[in-house]
Structure 1
Amino acid sequence: MHSEKASTGLRLAAWGGLLFLHFPILIIFLYAFNTEDAAFSFPPKGFTLKWFAVAFARPDVLEAIKLSLQVACLATLIALVLGTLASAALYRRSFFGKESISLMLILPIALPGIITGIALLSAFKALGIEPGVFTIVVGHATFCVVIVYNNVIARLRRTSQSLIEASMDLGADGWQTFRYIILPNLGSALLAGGMLAFALSFDEIIVTTFTAGHERTLPIWLLNQLSRPRDVPVTNVVAMLVMLVTMLPILGAYYLTRGGESVAGSGK
């Protein structure tokens, strides 16, 4: 009988690959608690929370965090509305140009970030719009919509049409059917899509570089810190914060959608 368990060599290779990928992240976490303020002093001399207090006492760090949270929340909200409406319009009926519209929706996430950034900057300049918070939000929303769209349209395709037909047969109007039948089925897909969109927006740097102007989100602040070796401990603390803020929504979205491949309404 064929065994479903992986061989010892394969498991070791898998764990080795994971360690290789995550080792740099572990180093950043380690240095965030290092007592020394030197850029590289291995092994760490001790454990301290001093750099957290230093980081959160700096106005430039707090302003960057505030801006990143603001942009991520606005971009996620726009993506939830537009992504849901687009998926609702495209999932059932066939019409001329449907595939082209689907391709245009997905294209921003498939294109290299530098191409998207240059295209957005050119469009804003042509329209006479100065780079700022508005342009950052629009730039992030272009690829966040894709995340929500993919999650919601997958859930809609798995939702049984008999539920919607039964609701209408029992006298419910379009709004009542949406409120009591469709929306509850979309709940976890919307939540997962929103969490992924937030994480993607919060740590985006390439598109932001072209659309930010003089604004500095947290990833841009981190990029600027590379030329300041004396701030390495504070930079490590902020980098750890960015990783945690992006990692937790991704893990949450994974747990919301895992194990649902054979269940109607799954957002996988």
Structure 2
Amino acid sequence: MHSERPSWFLRLAAWGGLVFLHFPILVILLYAFNTEDAAYSFPLQGFTLRWFAEAAQRGDVLDAIWLSLKIAAIATLIAMVLGTLAAGALYRRDFFGKEGISLMLILPIALPGIITGIALLSAFKTLGIEPGMLTIVIGHATFCVVIVYNNVIARFRRTSFSLIEASMDLGADGWQTFRYVILPNIATALLAGGMLAFALSFDEIIVTTFTAGHERTLPLWLLNQLTRPRDVPITNVVAMLVMLATMLPILGAYYLTRGTSDVAGGGK
């Protein structure tokens, strides 16, 4: 008789995979609280919050965090607007060139980051735009739009168009239909897409490297710290904070979209 319980081998393999993936993260978490300022002394000598206090007093750390937050917020806002508009335009009707437009929307996240970065840098140089905060925002928005677009168009496809038709039959104009019918149906998908886009933008490094110029976002700051072994404890603290800052939006997006397949008009 077939058992629905997984075999011990599959369970062992699953737990082994989880340990393999998360062990480096655990190492960073442990050494962020290590009393020793040596790079990675083992065993740990004690527990301290000293490095958190020192990181909070570093102006370069705070500047990098603030810059990353601003860029991620602006890129996410742009992505939420453009991604929602694109999803609304493409989700229902077929027209010539639709597949090509869909491909162009998804392409930035499908391409390797280094290709996207080089392409963006070449475009900015051609247009005479100097790399800086503006170019970073544009670069991040190119792949953040994809995240929002995919989330919203999936929700659009599970929302019955009869709701929109009923709203129009009852005399609502386009804005009222969007405000009171469409937006409530796509709200969680839109918010989840925005949270995922924020997390991706906050820790993006490859595209940022090509578009940052003299700006230093938090991921670039962390990359530069690899050549400074004396700052390893502070680097571990900042890396832990980055992991938390990106993990929380992802978990939030998961809980927002969990169990939402039964929305109005949901089905295959």
Which TM-score bucket, shorter chain as reference? over 0.9
Distance (whole Å) between structure 1 residues aligned to residue 8 and residue 163 of structure 2: 47
Distance (whole Å) between structure 1 residues aligned to residue 204 and residue 91 of structure 2: 29
Q: Deviations over 1:131-174 (max 9, x none)?
A: 00000000000000000000000000100111111111111111
Distance (whole Å) between structure 1 residues aligned to residue 157 and residue 102 of structure 2: 15
Deviation at 1:263, TM superposition (A): 4.1
Correspondence for 1:19: 19
Correspondence for 1:231: 231
Distance (whole Å) between structure 2 residues aligned to residue 163 and residue 7 of structure 1: 47
SS in 2 for 1:172: coil
Contact 2:159 / 2:263 at 8 angstroms: preserved in 1? no
Distance (whole Å) between structure 2 residues aligned to residue 181 and residue 2 of structure 1: 47
Correspondence for 1:35: 35
Deviation at 1:5, TM superposition (A): 2.0
Q: Structure 2: which amino acid aligns with 1:54?
A: E
SS in 2 for 1:42: coil
Q: Structure 2: which amino acid aligns with 1:152?
A: V
Q: How many residues align?
A: 266
Tell me if 1:52 matches 2:69: no
- Which ranges in structure 2 are unaligned for 5 or more consecutive residues? none
Which range is displaced more, 159-168 or 180-189? 159-168
Q: Deviations over 1:247-268 (max 9, x none)?
A: 11111111111233354477xx
Correspondence for 1:246: 246
Tell me if 1:193 matches 2:193: yes
Contact 2:158 / 2:261 at 8 angstroms: preserved in 1? no
Distance (whole Å) between structure 2 residues aligned to residue 96 and residue 224 of structure 1: 48
Alpha-carbon spacing, 1:43–1:265, altered in 2? closer, same or farther (3 Å) = farther
Contact 1:151 / 1:193 at 8 angstroms: preserved in 2? yes
Q: Structure 2: which amino acid aligns with 1:91?
A: Y
Q: How does 1:98-247 map to 2 (within 5 A)?
A: 98-247=98-247
Distance (whole Å) between structure 1 residues aligned to residue 261 and residue 167 of structure 2: 25
Q: Deviations over 1:152-199 (max 9, x none)?
A: 000001001111111111111111111100000011001100000000
Deviation at 1:44, TM superposition (A): 0.8
Q: Structure 1: which amino acid aligns with 2:79?
A: A
Which range is displaced more, 202-211 or 255-264? 255-264
Q: Structure 2: which amino acid aligns with 1:87?
A: A
SS in 2 for 1:89: helix
Distance (whole Å) between structure 1 residues aligned to residue 115 and residue 258 of structure 2: 33
RMSD: 1.1
* Length-normalised TM-score, structure 2: 0.97
Contact 2:117 / 2:139 at 8 angstroms: preserved in 1? yes
Distance (whole Å) between structure 1 residues aligned to residue 140 and residue 205 of structure 2: 10
Q: Structure 1: which amino acid aligns with 2:19?
A: L
Q: Structure 1: which amino acid aligns with 2:56?
A: F
* Length-normalised TM-score, structure 1: 0.97
Deviation at 1:220, TM superposition (A): 0.1
Distance (whole Å) between structure 2 residues aligned to residue 223 and residue 259 of structure 1: 38
